[in-house]
Structure 1
Amino acid sequence: MDMPSNVGSADRVIRIAAGAALVGLALAGIIGPWGYIGVVGLATGLFRFCPAYRLFGISTCSSAHR
């Protein structure tokens, strides 16, 4: 199954940064295990695909990247 990109550049940077921060804080024991939810942000940012965006018909990508 081909997954077209639906996460744009700015959205991607925010997802990766926030995801990495959450995972880092969880690993350091600062925020607890719920911080591992940052893995979702990392994955959606790295793969440029968000299943929730697809469900709701949202895309932050420019048309050139779809």
Structure 2
Amino acid sequence: MTPNLGTLDRSFRLVLGVVLLAAPFVSGLALLENTAASVVSVIAGLVMVATSTMKFCPLYRLFGIRTCKI
């Protein structure tokens, strides 16, 4: 897998992923009291953190997008 995520993109994904992972457990939002919404939030957070750590996004490859300079 060739890296296709730049530093800024990776940082944004990591922060957003951590927020999505923590939101169902620490927020008092009525939306996240629903089990399905909590599961979707956790899955989306895991995907964001995983793509950030691997420096690779499958959707970027599909659409031919590269934000890294390599």
Percent identity over the alignment is 38
TM-score (structure 2 length as normaliser): 0.78
How many pairs does the alignment contain? 61
1:43 matched to 2:40? The reply is no
Residue range with higher mean Cα deviation, 20-29 or 38-47: 20-29
1:11-65 C-alpha deviation (Å, 9 max, x unpaired): 00000000011001123364222211111100000100000000011000013xx
TM-score (structure 1 length as normaliser): 0.82
Distance 2:15 2:4 in 1: 18
**Greater RCO, CA 8 A, separation 6+:** 2
Distance 1:29 1:35 in 2: 12
Q: Which has the larger radius of gyration?
A: 2
What is the RMSD computed on CA atoms of the aligned residues?
1.4
